[in-house]
C-alpha cells in the first residue's frame, strides 16, 4: 500500500526566513509525485509534478526536488501570502488514477 | 483559464436523506476524480472515470454511486446519509491521467 508522510506537521516562519518541507513516500512504482497548495476550505491548487529522482522544478519562491525516497519543497524568502497547507501526493504505476496524499504541512509566515 | 466547477458549494442534509453533487471538468479533460476530505484530514480518493467509464475505485461506501455523462460532467450520489459523511467533497479533472486539477469543493453537512 502506498504511503506518504509529511513533516513537519506545522511550520511557522518569519517573512524572509527560508525553509524546507519534507515528503517521504513508499510506493510500488512511482508514476508521479505531486505538490499542491491548499487554503482553508478551498480545493488543492496544483504546484508541481516530479517523475524521476534528480528532477527539480521551480515556481517563484518554491522549488521542488525528488529523490528515490523523498521530496522536498524549498521555500525561499517566504511572504505572508505563502501561508497555506502544502500537500504531497503520489501515484503509482499499478493504479490508473488515484492520488495518495500525505496529511500536509501547515505553513504560517508572519511579518 | 477555465477551472473545474462544482455545485452546489454548500449542502445541508438530514440523516438518511440523499444528496447529489455535480462536477463539470475543465474542457477537453477526459478523466474525473472524486475525493472526500474530512476536517483536518488529507483528501481520500473515492472513485474516478475515464471517457465515461469507471477507471478506479477507492474507499467509497456502497451507499455512494457516481457516473460520468456524455458531456463529461459527473455526479456523485449519496444515499442514507450519516453524520460521518459530513466533509468537503472535491472533484478533480485531468487530461489523460496527468496532473489533477481540483475544483472548489462542495461542503456537505449532515445534521
Whether residue A97 and residue B33 make contact (CB cut-off 8 A), yes or no, is: yes
CB–CB contact B43 A42 (8 Å) = no
State the best of B35, B42, B54, B95 to mutate against chain A, taking most chain A CBs within 10 Å.
Answer: B42
Interface of A with B (CB under 8 A): 32, 34, 36, 41-46, 49, 87, 95-104
The pLDDT value recorded for residue A95 is 61
Q: Quick one: pLDDT at residue B30?
A: 87
pLDDT band for B98, please (50, 70, 90 cuts).
confident
Q: Which residue of A has its CA nearest to B101?
A: A46
Strand order in the sheet with B64-68: B5-7, B19-24, B74-78, B64-68
The predicted pLDDT at position A97 comes to: 72
Q: Find the mean pLDDT for residues B30-52.
A: 93
What's the confidence (pLDDT) of residue A94? 67
Mean of all residue pLDDT scores within chain B: 94
Per-residue pLDDT at B101 exceeds 70:
yes
The residue ranges of chain A whose pLDDT is under 50 are none
Of A44, A100, A103, the CB nearest to B102: A44
Find the farthest-apart pair of alpha carbons in chain A and give their distance in angstroms, rounded: 45
Tell me what the mean pLDDT of segment B24-30 comes to. 93
pLDDT at residue B43, as a whole number: 95
CA distances from B94 to A80, A98, B28, B30 (A): 30, 11, 9, 7
Residue pair A97/B56 in contact (Cβ under 8 Å)? The answer is: yes
Amino acid at each position: 500500500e502506498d504511503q506518504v508522510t509529511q513533516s513537519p506537521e506545522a511550520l511557522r516562519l518569519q517573512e524572509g526566513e527560508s525553509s524546507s518541507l519534507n515528503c517521504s513516500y513508499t510506493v510500488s512504482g512511482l508514476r508521479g509525485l505531486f505538490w499542491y497548495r491548499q487554503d482553508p476550505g478551498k480545493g488543492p491548487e496544483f504546484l508541481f509534478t516530479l517523475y524521476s529522482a534528480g528532477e527539480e522544478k521551480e515556481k517563484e519562491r518554491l522549488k521542488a526536488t525528488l529523490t528515490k525516497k523523498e521530496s522536498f519543497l524549498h521555500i525561499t524568502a517566504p511572504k505572508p501570502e505563502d501561508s497555506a497547507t502544502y500537500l504531497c501526493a503520489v501515484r503509482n504505476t499499478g493504479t490508473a488514477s488515484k492520488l495518495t496524499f500525505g496529511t500536509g504541512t501547515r505553513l504560517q509566515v508572519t511579518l | 483559464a477555465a477551472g473545474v466547477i462544482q455545485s452546489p458549494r454548500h449542502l445541508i442534509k438530514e440523516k438518511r436523506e440523499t444528496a447529489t453533487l455535480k462536477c463539470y471538468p475543465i474542457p477537453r479533460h477526459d478523466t474525473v476524480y472524486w475525493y472526500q476530505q474530512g476536517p483536518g484530514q488529507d483528501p481520500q480518493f473515492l472513485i474516478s472515470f475515464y471517457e465515461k467509464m469507471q477507471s478506479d475505485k477507492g474507499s467509497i461506501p456502497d451507499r455512494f454511486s457516481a457516473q460520468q455523462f456524455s458531456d463529461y460532467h459527473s455526479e456523485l450520489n449519496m444515499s442514507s446519509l450519516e453524520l460521518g459523511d459530513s466533509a468537503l467533497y472535491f472533484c478533480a479533472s485531468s487530461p489523460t491521467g496527468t496532473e489533477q486539477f481540483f475544483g472548489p469543493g462542495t461542503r456537505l453537512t449532515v445534521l
